[in-house]
Chain A
């Protein structure tokens, strides 16, 4: 009996039960005898020096083991590039406890290690610090004059700088029939995954460490620890089986990892360091960004000129960049373009990729400008997108590997009822509520990196797959098991996918929506090799009917190899293992994207988003009453986990457009709402009717699986669709996120 393929099935997360019953262990949950607890002390000033730091009172408390500061830290790697992790932007990475300089508010300046967490936390309050203050600046708006072109570096590979200008923008814009000029402003946001950052370092002796770390890249943490502390990579094992959300915050090793390992090595004990919620505001954030756009079109709506400029914040030590201004020309084939992206160095920590980095910022400006242009031209906003539709990426002058965006528009408009919309702003109402319908386009690049996977047919004839990749709560484990199962015609129950361990075959950091394509392709490569090996072993068995049979003549199904043209002839995987003297059979394969073929194409997932809002006419209160996201992202491995990704992005879109902001007091140079009571993310009462459609998109170029990834595409198109719907409801263009109800009074 043939099993139905796992790919395409809406299988529930395999680890779901462990998570909802509390059985899943996170990095702060691993206990060993004699474990010590560290609590980090953070700077209370924004810039200056530590003139004096006294730990006497803290150390005097019984149960306090040690207090580490820049004065007594162990000697560390001196070369600052040794601190550069796989995701480090150009610059010199922050080095915790390196010296007495204060570079930003909340900088870690010490670690108290004690026998209990509570004691460490209390002792930390007894450490006395005297600072010398220096003047600082954290305000992007006040410092735009200092904007500079970002330094280039390794990261430029995945984050290309703006494309070169084409044509003659200024002239074409000046001569265009319809023109729109707009400014956009976004503030700081912090990732705030529910799980707090924690590292438990188990001191194994003989210079060996086992580290449970909250991370999106076990290998990244392993390299960092090896480099900074001068350890052999093979002596450092980083494990991260469950990650309670990360959204990019775990792309770089964070300071709790450094602190935990440092204390463990110095004290020769196992040490856990857990950050609290307010400390989640002391590393990495989505940078505030100021944008301006100028779009010009002819009277038929064809865009003739596009200018998109952005100025973003970064720290004084690294040039963190995002892809903000590259998207419009990927979407719209205007002949005259000018894209600019600059940075301002401020006294803050380096920004850090946060779900849909750059895209969720840039698409807001692009897609709200498109909406404004549609009104200027008196053309339906959806029609304007169709008029400017292209199957090619004009920014790089090459075709898309696949692009079913038009289907997204058409299916979405139909399901949403876009045709019933009266385009006149403020024309639709229900009692006190103005009703608005808005739409926007989303785009996100589909990348693919090299990775390895190991595949094993165990003694029991089951399939085991190993990869260092993490599962940041997206369902990675489940879909990798599905992909692997189909390689052998097995059911998902017969597959064990082991992951989240730096000892397992290499996988890059998990982010950018490239994990499914990257690790999935490695699994496919390993599957192919292992099928060949099994067939060869089958051919070596006594009187084997499979001797010399080419791989194309057999199928793997439900634990058997079967001859294609004589299904009566089969051999079970268990029998092959028996004949192999009971030993498991395995392969370990590297999969490298076919760069030569791929570079002829642009590769991206697309979306069309339709939103209905209700705005109280007198009081400004906004509710997103209905939203639909239609996605073209290649093949969908698991419609259930994929849908959850898009729904999560849609909830986040409501957050981004209407709720979320880190409040900064620039006089103090610090973030003021460092808790989830005041850092507003949506509550249930903010979420109404959300719907997702995946359109068919067959991509034979992108990779063997035909996948594009769905991690970010849900959060790029909807924020502008909300802003556009608010305009439709009220006639007011609010280009600053989040849109608070008081801006609509």
Chain B
């Protein structure tokens, strides 16, 4: 690790000011991703600005217009176990608890979760070419061991996936990300926050250097009656999703009034399909219809040497998870498939 300075920011403004001191200056929250990346020399920094002691944004607040505001500096664990989240946004709680381990969730923050980097093996190994780490150097994964890589929205420069579970639920719940920066405050719809790789896989999202995430807004609709999170992975806990699905349904007499289906582990951002969700609207909540939605959502999916299985897997996972959402109590700990 290089030498770097470390300082604690006291307010959001203070944090924003401090991070202007140089292009390499970085915020650190839980440190569960950033510190690893520094140890692997994937990220170098000359100044770390600790945001854990910033005034405000450590709690959940009710918003005037309905819905709630999640503080960016609150931990993933506190968020998942908060009674409001458990009761009104259980999909979010389930998704968070499907991620990482108890120890990591106790450190990880909501802001940091949105900004975690991909788990592509090559990205973490500085001795291999990687366009995301070193633009223009090439992509080792395309012709390499790509079992964990993307099947949707990938590009010729990068086929990495965004690994978060929490963000899959946030995408389904249509959250909003609140940002402060040197030029004032702004908000981004969740689907506009993360990016597809295109020709610039080094840019994961639309946050600019110098900007800080202060909070995440959730609309009042929490889909607490019909929701489910399913995560498929190589072991029952403490592994990233090969495919995950967040489903939120609004039903009326067995008819789907509104549906949200977001996929994790398949693309450079949580994946939603407007066509798929539109198809389901007004249809009966049946396995047949869920199967058709799955086909629509996976339209255009493409696999590489080792990951083509994800296409069929994602389809089946969507169907199962929609079925689970009809009876949310069939969900098992660890977001495992229902019995």
Contacts and interface: CB of A to CB of B under 8 A. Distances in A.
B278 interface: no
A53 to B, nearest CB: 16
Given A619-B317, A672-B121, A659 B144 contact: no
Given A432-B338, A618-B316, A619-B316, A665 B235 contact: no
Contacts of A142: none
A619 B337 contact: yes
Interface residues of A, number: 35
A678 B121 CA distance: 9
A664 B145 CA distance: 8
B316 A745 contact: yes
B73 interface: no
Nearest to B3: A122
Interface stretch (B12-20, B60-68, B109-117, B237-245): B237-245
A647 interface: no
A686 B339 contact: no
B327 to A, nearest CB: 12
A677 B239 CA distance: 7
Interface stretch (B122-130, B175-183, B212-220): B122-130
Interface in B260-304: none
A668 B309 contact: no
A436 to B, nearest CB: 16
B320 A618 contact: yes
A621 B242 CA distance: 12
Contacts of B234: 659, 680, 740-741
Interface in A613-664: 616, 618-621, 623, 659, 663-664
Contacts of A682: 235
B35 interface: no
Contacts of A668: 128, 140, 144
A552 interface: no
A672 B145 contact: yes
Contacts of B144: 665, 667-668, 672
Nearest to A619: B337
Contacts of B145: 663-665, 672
A550 interface: no
The majority secondary structure among interface residues of chain A is loop
Contacts of A673: 121
Nearest to B148: A678
Given A122-B2, A742-B309, A663 B121 contact: yes
B198 interface: no
A171 interface: no
Contact of B339 (A44, A118, A431): A431
A340 B317 CA distance: 44
A121 B38 CA distance: 13
Interface string B212-230: 0000000000000000000
Nearest to B2: A122
A682 B313 CA distance: 22
Nearest to B122: A672
Contacts of A431: 338-339
Interface string A393-434: 000000000000000000000000000000000000011110
Contacts of B235: 659, 680, 682-683, 685-686
A103 B2 CA distance: 30
A659, A673, A684, A741 — most chain B CB neighbours (10 Å) = A741
A417 to B, nearest CB: 21
B312 interface: yes
A4 interface: no
Contacts of B336: 621
B189 interface: no
B53 interface: no
Contacts of B316: 618-619, 745
A122 B94 CA distance: 40
Interface string B30-47: 000000000001000000
B337 A621 contact: yes
Interface string A666-698: 011000110001101011111000000000000
A125 interface: yes
A360 B239 CA distance: 25
B242 A122 contact: no
Given A621-B232, A745-B313, 13 more contacts: A121-B1, A431-B339, A432-B339, A619-B316, A623-B236, A672-B122, A672-B125, A680-B234, A682-B235, A684-B237, A685-B237, A685-B333, A741-B234
The 7 closest A-B pairs by CB, nearest first: A685-B236, A742-B309, A672-B121, A44-B127, A685-B237, A683-B237, A431-B339
Interface of B: 1-3, 41, 119, 121-122, 125, 127-128, 140, 143-145, 232, 234-239, 242, 309-310, 312-313, 316-317, 319-320, 333-334, 336-339
